[in-house]
Chain A
Amino acid sequence: MEPFTTHTGRAVPLRRGNVDTDQIIPARWLKKVTRDGFEDGLFDAWRKDPEFVLNQPARRGATVLVAGMDFGTGSSREHAVWALQNYGFKVVISARFGDIFRGNSLKNGLPAVTLPQETVDRLWALTEADPAAEVTVDLLDREVRAAGITAGFELDDNARWRLLHGLDDISLTLEHEARIAEYEQRRPSYRPRTRNR
């Protein structure tokens, strides 16, 4: 995973609430067996509309998605995160995220930054008025900055540390292999097995 410290880029204001994972990437895109190539499926249904914000020429190359409330609710599909990353997004901002989506995005090095709706409103107003306006997401200071806007955000130390260093969760866990083996010794013997070992 790529380390993330700070990122500055232009934004896409997505003025919609409850954008579930089926909207981010519909099921027919989930048949691929790779982690890449999902960019064309991102917001598939809306992309057909030339007016849709992502289709506007001024938004080309934007890397910060400023989304409405309850972004990424619904299914556990990590493809939603890959689609955003494949498209070129480096950060997603919303007042509230679906839990699994947020976990998935942090695991893939795509910070899902939670800001109050009021700040999201201001970021929308700013970036709608000026598509060239830049938004900075600073993980070191836990702060989002844009013209006239400075807003702190919360991110627990552990998640932040992993993002900053691009750490692989599995390697960290496997350092505790002995603890896992020890736990396995004390599991109740009646717990089911799917097959004989």
Chain B
Amino acid sequence: MAKTLAEKVWDDHVVRRAEGEPDLLYVDLHLLHEVTCPQAFDGLRKAGRRVRRADLTIATEDHNTPTIDIDKPIADPVSRLQLETLRKNCAEHGVRLHPLGDVEQGIVHVVGPQLGLTQPGMTVVCGDSHTSTHGAFGALAFGIGTSQVEHVLASQTLPMSPFRTMAVTVEGELPPGVVAKDLILAVIARIGTGGGQGHVIEYRGPAIEKLSMEARMTVCNMSIEAGARAGMIAPDETTFAYLKDRPHAPKGADWDAAVADWRALRTDDDATFDREVVIDASTLSPFVTWGTNPAQGAPLSASVPDPAGFADAGERLAAEKALEYMGLTAGQPLREIAVDTVFLGSCTNGRIEDLRAAAAVLRGRSVADGVRMLVVPGSVRVALKAVEEGLDKVFTAAGAEWRHAGCSMCLGMNPDQLSPGERAASTSNRNFEGRQGRGGRTHLVSPQVAATTAVLGHLASPADLSDLPATTGA
């Protein structure tokens, strides 16, 4: 029977199938971070159970970790306790941990791929919804809750009912200056925050095939913002080239065997999806959000929409509430929205290509007066690479703050937060009320838009800089 990519990976991992019950799925890689697993380890301990496969498990510290003064004790005692709990649990169960200060530390979804642990055809889970990121490699990767974390720790499996399948086919070519973040924001605006509910989205088509691995991760990362359980992209030469020689990639004959298997990981020509959406890449332009959910977005060239224009009563109400919270008025051009803060980072856009793209805009320019810009690399490895390329100097010369790796202002669990009423352009993935700090207002943007916004002080894309030549000699 013809199958989609997601169905192939699913079927490969069924340990047990029984009528009227969820499938029991095997988990190839389990990622842990400090926030969603303490209660899971606690449950194991109470039941007298052990971690079944510590060798398929890896932990990192990211959500709570400070991005300055990392050599000092963590000021917040509750954050400190959470990190200490993770360290204790990992030591007790023999789980590999990359703590703050370690060279492999970073955001869990940046660390897995860069170590080469995320590979095509695998099942990857983590107590974190943005586990969908790993689907960029053709893995079936999805976020789970703490009870499920405990379940995987104890059994390396999960009882799951099959997901539905959805294809998002991106035809044509992205115009110059339009990037993966613009594409995924436009997709979410099109299908809505609930549009992908219960589905695995497979992104396909010529515009997707041309994306780099890092751009593919940006796309798959935000699948959850469309309500989907996972996002996937079929592995191809780009995937193999990224993986080759990574620390945990197969070596020698194993590599050849793996690649041979991976090449078969494609949706069969005659397979059908439960739902299909087609997007024409050539119609896209830089895209930003104006509201308080990731589907409330529009092209940068547009204006804040009038809630009265929404046909659906729920959407109208949501838009009214969003404008009130965001302090915006209908009809206001998006380009005229001034920001206080720019955040470059997160598992969506905290990789080296993102930093390079922002640095290209900032080189020889400065962050506007009254604007603070935080640059938080997604991992220590990303930070080291940026330093090697001199990007940190570009950021600091422009007046931005160069920070240590972690989740940081993506969710403001550490001290990096917005204050009430403060407005940010952020390369992260969620613009929910209070997400980046109580009362904070978030506009989701690409790294290119973030950097330009920092320079001009209002939402803008690099094209807006044409009349402002970079000062030379810097």
Q: Which of A23, A69, A104 contacts B145 (CB 8 A)?
A: A104
B38 contacts across to A, CB distance below 8 A: 33-34
Q: Tell me whether B129 and A75 are in contact (CB under 8 A).
A: yes
User: What residues of chain B lie closer than 8 Å to A98, measured between beta carbons?
Assistant: 197, 227
Interface residue stretch chosen among B146-154, B343-351, B454-462: B146-154
Please tell me which one of the listed residues A99, A158, A190 contacts residue B21 in the complex, with CB atoms under 8 A apart: A158
Which one of B116, B127, B432 has the highest number of Cβ atoms from chain A below 10 Å of its Cβ? B432
Which residue of the partner chain, among A20, A31, A34, A108, contacts B147 with CB atoms under 8 Å? A108
- Beta-carbon contact of A188 and B22 below 8 Å: no
B151's partner among A16, A44, A173 (CB-CB below 8 A) is A173
Range, interface on chain B = 35 or more
Neighbouring A residues of B434 by C-beta, 8 Å: 22-23, 26, 44-45
**Cα separation A97 to B250 with both chains bound (whole Å):** 40
Task: Say yes or no: is B318 at the interface (Cβ < 8 Å to chain A).
Answer: yes
A128: CB under 8 A from chain B?
Answer: no
Q: Which residues of A contact B430 (CB under 8 A)?
A: 20, 22, 74-75
Binds B, one of A4-12, A57-65, A176-184: A176-184
Q: Is the Cβ of B76 less than 8 Å from the Cβ of A18? A: no
Whether the Cβ atoms of B194 and A33 lie closer than 8 Å is no
Q: Are B250 and A190 in contact (CB under 8 A)?
A: yes
- In the assembled complex, A170 has its CB within 8 A of some CB on chain B: yes
**Residue among A22, A68, A183 making CB contact with B435, cutoff 8 Å:** A22
With A68-B314, A158-B20 known as contacts, the answer to whether A192 contacts B197 (CB < 8 A) is: no
A35/B117 contact (C-beta < 8 A), A17-B318, A190-B257 known: no
B150-203 contacts to A (CB < 8 Å): 150-151, 154-157, 159, 161, 193-194, 197-198
Are A170 and B261 in touch, CB under 8 angstroms? no
Chain A, residue nearest B22 (CB): A158
Instruction: Verify B157–A173 contact, CB threshold 8 A.
Output: yes
Interface membership of chain B positions 23-62, coded 1 if the CB is closer than 8 angstroms to chain A and 0 otherwise: 0101011000001101100100001010010111110000
Nearest Cβ in chain A — how far from B20, in angstroms?
Answer: 6
Q: Do A31 and B15 touch across chains, with their CB atoms under 8 A apart? A: no
| CB atoms of A33 and B42 under 8 A apart | yes
Chain A residues positioned under 8 Å from B159 (CB to CB)? 169, 172-173
A10 CB to nearest chain B CB (Å): 25
**Contact between B412 and A28, CB atoms less than 8 A apart:** yes
Cβ of A68: which chain B residues have Cβ within 8 Å of it? 314
- The minimal Cβ–Cβ distance linking A23 to chain B, given in whole angstroms, is 6
Q: How far is the CB of A83 from chain B (nearest CB, A)?
A: 13
- For residue B79, CB closer than 8 A to chain A, the reply is yes
**Closest residue on chain A to residue B261 by CB atoms:** A188
Please give me the residue from chain B that is nearest to A1 by CB atom.
B147
User: Are A179 and B147 in touch, CB under 8 angstroms?
Assistant: no
Known: A28-B412, A100-B145. A20 touches B157 (CB 8 A): no
Asked whether A96 lies within 8 Å of B194 as measured between CB atoms, the reply is: yes
Instruction: Tell whether, in the assembled complex, residue B24 and residue A100 are in contact, meaning their CB atoms are under 8 Å apart.
Output: no
- A169–B58 Cα gap in the complex (Å)? 23
B293 partner residues in chain A, CB cutoff 8 A: 18, 20, 73
Known contacts A192-B248, A197-B54; 11 further A-B pairs (Cβ under 8 A): A73-B194, A74-B129, A76-B129, A78-B39, A100-B143, A100-B144, A169-B147, A170-B47, A179-B16, A180-B157, A194-B96
Which chain A residues have a beta carbon within 8 Å of chain B's beta carbons? 16-18, 20, 22-23, 26-28, 30-35, 44-45, 68-70, 73-79, 81, 96, 98-100, 103-104, 107-108, 156-158, 169-170, 172-174, 176-177, 179-180, 183-184, 187-197
Interface residues of B (CB under 8 A from A): 15-16, 20-22, 24, 26, 28-29, 35-36, 38-39, 42, 47, 49, 52, 54-58, 63-64, 76, 78-79, 81-82, 85, 94, 96, 116-117, 119, 122, 127-129, 143-148, 150-151, 154-157, 159, 161, 193-194, 197-198, 224, 227, 229, 248-250, 254-255, 257-258, 261, 293, 314, 317-318, 321, 411-413, 430, 432-435, 438
Which 3 interchain pairs have the tightest Cβ spacing?
A104-B145, A33-B38, A78-B145
